[in-house]
Amino acid sequence: MSNALTQLSDDELAFQEAFGNFFKEAVGPLVHKMDHEQKLDPDMIKSFFEMGLMGIEIPESYGGAGGSFFLACLAVEEAAKVDPSVSVFIDVQNTLVLNAIKKWGSEEQKNHWFPRLAKDTVGAYALSESSSGSDAFALRCKATQSGSDWVLNGNKLWITNANEAGVFIVFANTDFDKGYKGITAFLVPRDSAGFSVGKKEDKLGIRASSTCELIFDNVKVPAANVLGPVGKGYKVAIETLNEGRIGIGAQMVGLADGALKAGVAYAKEREQFGKPIGQYQAIQHQLGQAATEVEAARLMVYNAARLKDAGKPFLKEAAMAKLFSSQVAERVASKMVEVHGGNGFTTEYPAEKFYRDSKIGGIYEGTSNMQLSTIAKMLLR
C-alpha cells in the first residue's frame, strides 16, 4: 500500500498485522460452525476483551486501549476479512456505543460504563423500530417521566449484538408533540426490570451476529442514565451514525478483500485444460478489476476515518465511503463466487458466505439511497 492515504504508521502496521493474525487463528476455524449455528462463540468473545478489541477508543484511564477511531476501523476491516459477523460485533461496540458515550456521556456514566465495556460488557445501539427504518425519527418507543426517573414502553427491531449485550443505548420519544426534538437517548442495563430481548431474526447473511427485537414494558430508567440532554437524542443518533458508517465501510472493505483473497487462492490451485485458471486472461481481468475496486474503497474509508480523527468535516466522505464500499463488496463477492465456479455455490468454500454477508452493507446504518441523498444534499448546499 504505497498511496499516502493508505500508508500506515509503524504502530498501525503492527496493530493491523497482530490482529489480522489473531482473527485468522482464533476466528477462522470457527466461522463455518458459528454461521451454521447462528451464534458467536462465547469463548471467542472473551478473547476479544482480553485482546483489547472491545475498548479500542476507551481511554487508558478507564481500562481501555486508548486508541484512535482509525485503529478501530482497522480492527473492523481485519475481522471482516475472516468473518463479517465478527466484524460487525466489534464495530457496533467501538464505532457506535463507545463513540456515543465518549462524546455525550457524563463523567459519572464514563466512570461506570467504560471499565465494564473494556473488560467484559457488550454494548448495543437501539434506534430502529418497525415504523422507523430510513425514517429514523418516526419512533413510537415512549419515555414518560416519573418523578426523577423515566419509564420506557415500546419495542425495537433489528438490534445488532442484542443477545450478547449487557447495556443498550435506547432512543425513545419524551414528547411526541415536539417530533424528533422529543427524542432522548438512555443507557439501559440488560437486567432492568420489564426489559427483555425478543425474537432473533433468521437472516440471509452475517448469521452469527445476533439481530433481535427488544421489548420495554414499564422499564424504569434513572435520570442519571439519560445520555446527553433530554430532547437531544436525535443529535446523539445522527452524529454517532455518521461515524458508524465509516465502520461499516471498513467492514465492507475487509469483506471484499477476504473474498478476493479466497478467489486468488482458488485461481492458483484450480486447474482446467492443463493449467491453473489464474493463468487465463478472463480470470486475470476479473481479479485485476476486483483488486482495483477494493483498493479504491479502502482509500475512501481510510480518508473518512482520518478526517474524523483530525476533527475535520467528514459527513460527505463517510456517506461516500459507506456507499461505495458496500457496492464494491457485493460486486467482488459475487465475482469470486463465479471464479470458484460450481464450488462457489457450496458451503465448502468461503465464497458463498462472503456473498451472502455482503448484501447487508447497502442496508444497515443507512441504505445506499440514503447515502446518495446525503451526498447530493452536501453538494447542493
Active-site positions read: 365
- Phi and psi torsions of 341, nearest 5°: 60, -140
Report d(CA 240, CA 224) in Å as an integer. 20
Report d(CA 74, CA 71) in Å as an integer. 5
Q: Which residues of 33-47 are buried (b: 16+ CB within 10 A; e: fewer)?
A: ebbeebbbbeebbee
Task: Please check whether residue 81 is in contact with residue 258, taking contact to mean a CB–CB distance below 8 angstroms.
Answer: yes
**How far does Cα 109 stand from its chain's mean position?**
23
Helix (H, G, I), strand (E, B) or coil at 303: helix
Report d(CA 305, CA 299) in Å as an integer. 10
Task: Please check whether residue 86 is in contact with residue 53, taking contact to mean a CB–CB distance below 8 angstroms.
Answer: no
Report d(CA 91, CA 125) in Å as an integer. 11
Sign of the CA dihedral 335, 339, 342, 343? negative
Report d(CA 240, CA 103) in Å as an integer. 9
Report d(CA 302, CA 50) in Å as an integer. 26
Question: Hey, what amino acid is at 356?
Answer: R
Query: Facing residues of 211 across strands?
Result: 160
- Of the candidates 106, 102, 53, the one whose C-alpha atom is nearest the C-alpha of residue 82 is 53
Report d(CA 352, CA 36) in Å as an integer. 13
> What cell does 346 get?
457450496
Task: Please check whether residue 150 is in contact with residue 143, taking contact to mean a CB–CB distance below 8 angstroms.
Answer: yes
Residues in the chain: 381
Q: How far apart, in Å, are the Cα atoms of 190 and each of 92, 125, 165, 168, 312?
A: 17, 12, 7, 7, 35
